[in-house]
Amino acid sequence: MQPVERAEYEGVDYAWVMQTTFVVTILVGAPVVALLSTLVTLETWGARAAFAVRVGAPIWFVTAVAVALYARRAEAGDGGSGSDADASAERDADADAGDAEPESTEPTDEQTDEGEKID
């Protein structure tokens, strides 16, 4: 069986940043927009949508910048690999496992293609 390929991230995991930004913006930003909308008279659906975009866009931007800075500073989103020593030991173990010869799927001299023994 061939080993599964693994990706090694150098720096910030931007997929984690995008996912975290989305979740935090929904959980925090939506209630903020809802609370701020109570302070303004919004008579039409168009006015409500425009307000949500005007207020929600800066919240999204600030959240994205904060999450990206956090990820850069804390090396977050790396899959929980721990320290660099742990990561290098894991890479070495994977390399050693890749050096082993693959098991043969060829039938032996004692077996036919159907798996029956030859007398």
What pLDDT, in 10s, does the model give residues 74-94?
A: 876 555 555 554 555 555 555
Q: Is the pLDDT assigned to residue 22 strictly greater than 80?
A: yes
pLDDT in tens, 24-79: 999 999 999 999 999 999 999 999 999 999 999 999 999 999 999 999 888 765 55
- In our burial notation (b when 16+ CB lie closer than 10 A, e otherwise), range 29-51 reads beeebeeeeeeeeeeeeeeeeee
Question: Is position 29 within any domain?
Answer: yes
What is the extent of the structural domain holding 61? 14-77
111 three-class SS = strand
Question: Is position 54 within any domain?
Answer: yes
Cβ count near 113 (within 10 Å): 6
Q: Please tell me the total number of residues recorded for the chain in this structure.
A: 119
Q: Which of 2-6, 46-50, 113-117 has the highest mean pLDDT?
A: 46-50
Structure tokens at 76: 């977050």
Question: Is position 107 within any domain?
Answer: no
Q: For the chain, how many structural domains are there in total?
A: 1
Check residues 7 and 54 and name the one with the higher pLDDT.
Answer: 54
Question: Is position 65 within any domain?
Answer: yes
